[in-house]
């Protein structure tokens, strides 16, 4: 057999290649193990589940659901540990904050918005336990993650229900996320199991009549009424509606219908048919938004009411700014509170379109200064420059008002706990007794919220809730234009 003699340089290359491949293979295994190990670690009642392989479930703060939550979760964990350590002397119950804390493009909420909610929730816990509203029994705050788009809501809710008895004594769940079918299912299951619920940012009008449920946010009817009244005061006589037709988007459907009911009168009218897109069809909705400005050019409305999520609004404004016709026309767009879920960069991008944008928010730190009769000064001070929130989170600009909504939701639950304990005794407070107290929160017992004074109707809606009207500036900053009540009139102390 003929022996093949390889040139030396090829032999060297081959040996080096084999060695390098081996090194890379070993490094790959090490890297795989290094990458896999942290992902496999979930603490407490937290496990990896779902299409996004997220850690979902319930924690007292030790398991950090996302790096940007680390600072606030550390504070909550420390306060929970203190409450537990003093449990023999000062009885406590548990209140949970439930929402999607691990987010993807499927979510309307941003990382900033859910972090701000949790920061506000911690402030309410602190105020009730050892701050300016100190009361008993104390509150241990659980953090419950339903996963992106709330796909794992049932697992998280089941873990919460296991904590109703024993040392945890869960009596209320707050937060609950935006108005979606999954979050509504979670709300119903908690209600069916006698857990009191307080929604922080749910605004869909058709969420009502659920036992033990209240919300601190104005409803879409409240927002539409306040927005319609503002447009009328500013002299806009005609308006068109652009609406998301996605069936799962309860927020958009009820917002559009509410404005349709509230705006028209003898001097004001809607023009043309409602223009729509369907965000549930990923391949179509951006294209649909591109065609809508052409129809608006034909209808010539003085204002456009956009009933859709904030992320869709950004695309709509871009389409409106880059329209091919009626370029000389100026457009004013009014929309709802989901605009607060846009990041500062997205807001700045929207402002650069040159379209004048107003939106009805859920809360704003300047509400007290604009209308001091509508908001509790005691609560508002914590959110103003130099207040407690600045001290704890100095590097986190809370531009969206979500911290105020998280705070007011937990403050409402804490108020219910305090009232129920006076009726039953500190060691006998239950979810059912807390829920009953929600309907007693009026007059001297109203909740002194930072988003407005809070009392509740029998269906769970807030009564005469203050609604801020915000204007997007060319710099992308939102400034307070006005504060209205749910009736569309200037807000007053209840």
- The total number of structural domains that make up the chain: 2
Is the same domain home to 75 and 119?
Answer: yes
Q: Is residue 35 part of a domain?
A: no
Is the same domain home to 431 and 475?
Answer: no
Mean pLDDT rounded to a whole number for the chain: 88
What are the counts of helices (DSSP H) followed by strands (DSSP E) for the chain?
Answer: 15, 17
Quickly list DSSP for 57-125: EEESSSS-SSGGGHHHHHHHHHHHHHHHHTTTTS-EEEEEEEE--S--TT-SS-HHHHHHHHHHHHHHH
What span, in angstroms and rounded, lies between the C-alpha atoms of 262 and 265? Answer: 8
pLDDT tens-place string over residues 329-380:
989 999 999 888 787 788 888 888 888 999 999 999 999 888 888 899 999 9
Is the same domain home to 207 and 240?
Answer: no
Q: Is residue 205 part of a domain?
A: yes
pLDDT tens-place string over residues 431-486:
999 999 999 998 889 999 999 999 999 999 999 888 999 998 888 788 999 988 65
pTM of the model: 0.85
Domain that holds residue 421: 48-218+374-463
Question: Can you give 119-157 as a three-state secondary structure string?
Answer: HHHHHHHHHHHHCCCCCCCEEEEEEEECCHHHCCHHHHH
Is the same domain home to 350 and 392?
Answer: no
33-37, 188-192, 237-241, 470-474: segment of lowest average pLDDT: 33-37
Is the same domain home to 270 and 226?
Answer: yes
Q: Which neighbouring-strand residues pair with 94?
A: 140, 170
Report, as an integer, the average pLDDT of 110-118.
95
Is the same domain home to 240 and 166?
Answer: no
Is the same domain home to 196 and 315?
Answer: no
Q: Is residue 67 part of a domain?
A: yes
C-alpha of 158 from chain center: 22
Please give the structure tokens belonging to residue 134: 């100190």
Is the same domain home to 330 and 314?
Answer: yes
Q: Is residue 490 part of a domain?
A: no
Q: Is residue 40 part of a domain?
A: no
Is the same domain home to 60 and 126?
Answer: yes
Is the same domain home to 208 and 74?
Answer: yes
Question: What's the CATH number where 261 sits?
Answer: 3.40.50.2300
């Amino acid at each position: 057999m003929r022996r093949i003699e390889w040139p030396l340089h090829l032999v060297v290359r081959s040996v080096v290649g084999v060695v390098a491949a081996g090194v890379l293979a070993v490094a790959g295994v090490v890297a795989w193990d290094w990458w896999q190990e942290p992902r496999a670690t979930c603490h407490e009642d937290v496990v990896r589940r779902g299409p996004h392989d997220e850690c979902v479930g319930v924690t007292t703060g030790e398991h950090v659901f996302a790096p940007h939550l680390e600072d606030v979760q550390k504070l909550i964990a420390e306060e929970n540990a203190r409450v537990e350590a003093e449990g023999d002397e000062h009885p406590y119950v548990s209140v949970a904050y439930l929402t999607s804390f691990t987010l993807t493009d499927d979510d309307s909420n941003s990382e900033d918005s859910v972090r701000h909610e949790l920061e506000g929730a911690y402030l309410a816990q602190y105020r009730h336990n050892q701050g300016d509203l100190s009361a008993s029994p104390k509150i241990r705050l659980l953090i419950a993650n339903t996963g992106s788009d709330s796909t794992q809501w049932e697992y998280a809710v089941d873990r919460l229900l296991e904590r109703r008895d024993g040392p945890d004594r869960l009596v209320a769940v707050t937060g609950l996320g935006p108005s979606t079918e999954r979050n509504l299912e979670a709300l119903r299951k908690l209600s069916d199991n006698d857990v009191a619920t307080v929604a922080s940012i749910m605004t869909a009008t058709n969420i009502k009549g659920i036992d033990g449920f209240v919300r601190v946010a104005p409803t879409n009817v409240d927002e539409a009424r306040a927005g319609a009244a503002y447009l009328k005061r500013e002299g806009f006589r005609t308006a068109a509606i652009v609406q998301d037709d996605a069936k799962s988007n309860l927020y958009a459907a009820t917002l559009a219908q509410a404005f349709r009911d509230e705006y028209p009168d003898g001097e004001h009218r809607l023009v043309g048919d409602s223009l729509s897109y369907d965000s549930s069809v990923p391949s179509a909705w951006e294209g649909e938004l591109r065609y809508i400005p052409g129809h608006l050019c034909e209808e010539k409305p003085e204002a456009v009411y956009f009933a859709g999520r904030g992320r869709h609004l950004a695309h709509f404004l871009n389409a409106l700014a880059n329209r091919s016709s009626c370029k000389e026309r100026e457009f004013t767009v009014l929309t709802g509170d989901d605009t607060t879920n846009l990041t500062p960069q997205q807001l700045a991008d929207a402002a650069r379109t040159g379209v004048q944008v107003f939106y009805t928010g859920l809360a704003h730190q300047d509400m007290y200064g604009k209308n001091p009769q509508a908001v509790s000064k005691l609560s508002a001070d914590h959110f103003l420059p130099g207040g407690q929130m600045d001290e704890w989170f100095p590097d986190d600009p809370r531009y969206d008002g979500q911290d105020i909504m998280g705070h007011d939701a937990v403050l409402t639950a804490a108020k219910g706990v305090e009232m129920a304990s006076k009726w039953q005794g500190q060691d006998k407070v239950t979810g059912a007794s807390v829920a009953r107290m929600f309907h007693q929160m009026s007059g001297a017992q109203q909740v002194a919220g930072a988003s407005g004074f809070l009392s509740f109707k029998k269906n769970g809606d807030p009564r005469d809730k203050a609604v801020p009207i915000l204007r997007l500036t060319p710099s992308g900053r939102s400034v307070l234009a006005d504060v209205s009540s749910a009736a569309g009139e200037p807000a007053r102390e209840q």
